[in-house]
Amino acid sequence: MSGAVQNSLAAQGPARRRRGSRPVGRAVLYLALIVVALIPLFPLYWLVISSLKTPSEFSHIPPTWAPMHPTLDAIGNAFSAVPFLHGMLNSLVIAGCSTIAVCITSVLAGYVFAKYEFRGREVLFWGLVATMFLPPIVTLVPLYVMIRSMGLDDSYLGVLLPWLANPFGIFLMRQFMADLPDELIEAARLDGASEFRIVWQLVMPLVSPAVITLALFQFVFCWNNFLWPLSVLKSQALYPVVLMLNQLMSYTMSVQYQNVVLAGALIASIPTLVLFLVSQRVFVQGIAGSGVKG
Amino acid sequence: MTMIDNTGAGALPGRPRSERDRIRRRPHRASRNAFLSPALILIGVFTIVPIVLTFIISFSDWSMLTPLTQLRWVGLKNYGSVLTSPSVLGAFKNTVIYVAASVVITVPLAMAFALLLYTPVLRGRNIVRALLFATYVVPTTSIVIVWSNIYASGYGPLSTMLSAVGIHPPGWLSDPRWSLYSLVIFNVWQMLGYYVVLLIAGLTQVPEELYEAAKLDGAGFLRQTWSVTLPLVRRSLFFVGLMTLINSIQVFDPVYLLTQGGPAGSTETISYDIQRAAFQYGQAGQASAMAVTLFMLLIVVGVIISAFMRRRRA
């Protein structure tokens, strides 16, 4: 094997003949690619067209594969059946605050773990990372009890408090910041920059792809989080959009209104989908980086 | 001058590095504490303290509807009642099946997709990668809604398509033999793209020369994949397996929204039981006993996996 490696290195021949370079093989691969693409596309397509159907077309057997008389009625009904817009705004506030807080706490802590040397650093860091693998359900009950005893159940703050810092963010920031050259930071220190200025004006811009990745990750997580708001919130006025969807589902169980529920599901998905599409390149690469380095 | 310097160096061993170290360490105690404390305090208060509290509550008889002062120590009683309850044991069994099925389906499928999307000659593979990933950002609530409609008998597309090719569609969510696996399917659908992205990143780390070497040794595509690619992306595969485990062990949303544990308890999972016991019945002690049992199970699985990985590496 090692002989073969040397051979190939010595040969430096033409690039390896890649898989699928023959026409037939390539056609098969493209077919596979189309099938793979249909897996995410079909349910999303179904979500969109179902939201555009009339109730009678929606419950038609067999189903129609494209809406015959596309209408926005179902989408309008979703907004009037429950305070859906209000739910979107609640989600925006909750996910937005949590995202900003997580980015700040992770950048600061990640910087310390990446660039400071102190006793117990590794133990502390890996101890934190270990909590990343703790499913939130394990601490759900005591967390609720704590929030309630602080008098914060059924409030924005109660929904937010447990999600202002997370070990994944610290891990991601440290991995990316560790690659920055020490000399850069030392030079800034010799110039008399404060540590806070170094983090804010030098380090953070250099790891901005990682920060964007973290921000999107946290925003998506909070926007989609169902269990915690369900457990801690009681007033509809504070419901995030996923709890509004839950209400929509229970209001409209009968088949005639199912397309309103689907319209709600579509609207609730649009903000995170748009955010992802806008920043898709950075996001995918940042996540990939977190996996390789982990 | 020289002499003074020398005595100085004698008094402080390692002087040549000291200048560098001083610059690195000097301002740091204060800023270190200031930068670390927000994250450490928040994680300490909202993760570490609750873990300890879960243990304490699990040894107590306490209704969540009453204040904490009503907490009464009962030793292992909650564990006794939880671990002998057929419904809780069923929930543990369902959770294990759900997790196992998710891992068994997700890891090979994600690997196959990653290999396909890593093929350099294919145009449009980055678009497909982004499409696959897009399902990850859709709220689980929305996914539950659209899939329950895809599964629907009569007006649902899946049953219609299966009937068209002569397969009698099962009652996806209404048949106890199928319901749990129907939930697995949309879990896999939602998470797959994330893992494909992670595995593609792992594949880019495999040195090109190794493929050439294998090719010179006469290895075909399958042989190359089996003997070169898979061993080298083992770490990524392990990570994907672990993430699938952690993500699927806490399945809650689809059970709560769609099946409420039914039909016939076939989709009752441990997360659902914990939340229901605590928030619907107020049985915080029993919910915590279940949570601790789940926590212990996770630790055991973690220890076994890491021991296995260490042996493989050695």
Smallest Cα distance from A205 to chain B, Å: 18
Tokens coding B8 = 């100085």
User: Peptide bond preceding B263: is omega within 30 degrees of 0, i.e. cis?
Assistant: yes
Lowest mean pLDDT among A1-15, A33-47, A272-286, B279-293: A1-15
Give the pLDDT of residue A1: 35
Q: Which of B149, B162, B209, B283 to mutate against chain A (most A CBs within 10 Å)?
A: B149
* Residue A282 banded pLDDT, cuts 50, 70, 90: confident
How far are the Cα atoms of A207, A286, B16, B17 from residue B7, in angstroms, in the given order?
Answer: 44, 51, 13, 16
Say if residues B301 and B289 touch (Cβ distance below 8 Å): no
Residues in chain B closer than 8 A to A166 (CB atoms): 43
CB pairs under 8 A between A and B: 314
Rounded distance between C-alpha atoms, residue A18 and residue A275, angstroms: 35
Rounded distance between C-alpha atoms, residue A73 and residue A53, angstroms: 9
State chain A's mean pLDDT as an integer.
Answer: 86
Secondary structure (DSSP) of A190-221: HTT--HHHIIIIIIHHHTHHHHHHHHHHHHHH
* Residue B1 banded pLDDT, cuts 50, 70, 90: very low
Stated as kind and residue range, the H or E segment containing A59 is: none
Q: Which of A88, A140, A163 to mutate against chain B (most B CBs within 10 Å)?
A: A140
Lowest mean pLDDT among A209-223, B7-21, B191-205, B276-290: B7-21
Query: Helix crossing, A167-178 with A280-293: angle to 10°?
Result: 90
Residues in chain B closer than 8 A to A164 (CB atoms): 42
Smallest Cα distance from B1 to chain A, Å: 25
Token pair 């057997």: residue: A61
Give the pLDDT of residue A256: 64
Give the pLDDT of residue B18: 53
User: Is residue B27 over pLDDT 60?
Assistant: no
Smallest Cα distance from B35 to chain A, Å: 5
Across the interface, whether the CB atoms of A117 and B291 are under 8 A apart is answered: no
3-state secondary structure A131-159: HHHCCHHHHHHHHHHHHHHCCCCCCHHHH
Rounded distance between C-alpha atoms, residue B193 and residue A287, angstroms: 11
pLDDT in tens, B139-151: 999 999 999 989 9
Average pLDDT of span B21-30: 61
How far are the Cα atoms of A51, A62, A99, B157, B314 from residue A43, in angstroms, in the given order?
Answer: 12, 17, 29, 10, 45
Smallest Cα distance from B100 to chain A, Å: 17
Tokens coding A12 = 């430096």
**Burial readout B216-239 (b: 16 or more C-beta within 10 A, e: otherwise):** bbebeeeebbeebbeebbeebbbb
Contacts of B130-133 spanning 24+ positions with Cβ under 8 A: B130/A277, B130/A280, B130/A284, B131/A37, B131/A40, B131/A41, B131/B193, B132/A36, B132/A37, B132/A39, B132/A40, B132/B192, B132/B193, B132/B196, B132/B197, B133/A276, B133/A280, B133/A284, B133/B193, B133/B194, B133/B196, B133/B197
Model pTM above 0.90: no
* Residue B30 banded pLDDT, cuts 50, 70, 90: confident
Nearest to A203 by CA among A217, A221, A182: A182
Percent of chain B with pLDDT over 90: 46
Most confident among A201-205, B72-76, B155-159 (mean pLDDT)? A201-205
DSSP at A180: S
User: Is residue B202 over pLDDT 60?
Assistant: yes
pLDDT in tens, B38-61: 999 999 999 999 999 999 999 998
Tokens coding A24 = 């037939």
User: Is residue A259 over pLDDT 50?
Assistant: yes
Nearest to A63 by CA among B170, B162, B150, B157: B157
Average pLDDT of span A153-181: 93
Give the pLDDT of residue B3: 37
Give the pLDDT of residue A15: 40
pLDDT in tens, B209-237: 777 777 777 777 777 788 778 888 888 88
Lowest mean pLDDT among A89-98, A284-293, B137-146: A284-293
Residue A197 carries which side chain, given as an amino acid letter? R
* Residue B68 banded pLDDT, cuts 50, 70, 90: confident
ipTM, two decimals, is 0.86
Average pLDDT of span B110-117: 93
Give the pLDDT of residue B293: 94
Comparing B251 with A61, the larger pLDDT belongs to: B251
User: Is residue A17 over pLDDT 50?
Assistant: no
Give the pLDDT of residue B7: 36
Secondary structure (DSSP) of A166-177: -HHHHHHHHHHH
Give the pLDDT of residue B217: 79
Residues in chain A closer than 8 A to B253 (CB atoms): 226-227
Stated as kind and residue range, the H or E segment containing B64 is: none
Tokens coding B115 = 């290999």
Stated as kind and residue range, the H or E segment containing B111 is: helix B86-117
Across the interface, whether the CB atoms of A265 and B146 are under 8 A apart is answered: yes
Give the pLDDT of residue A142: 93
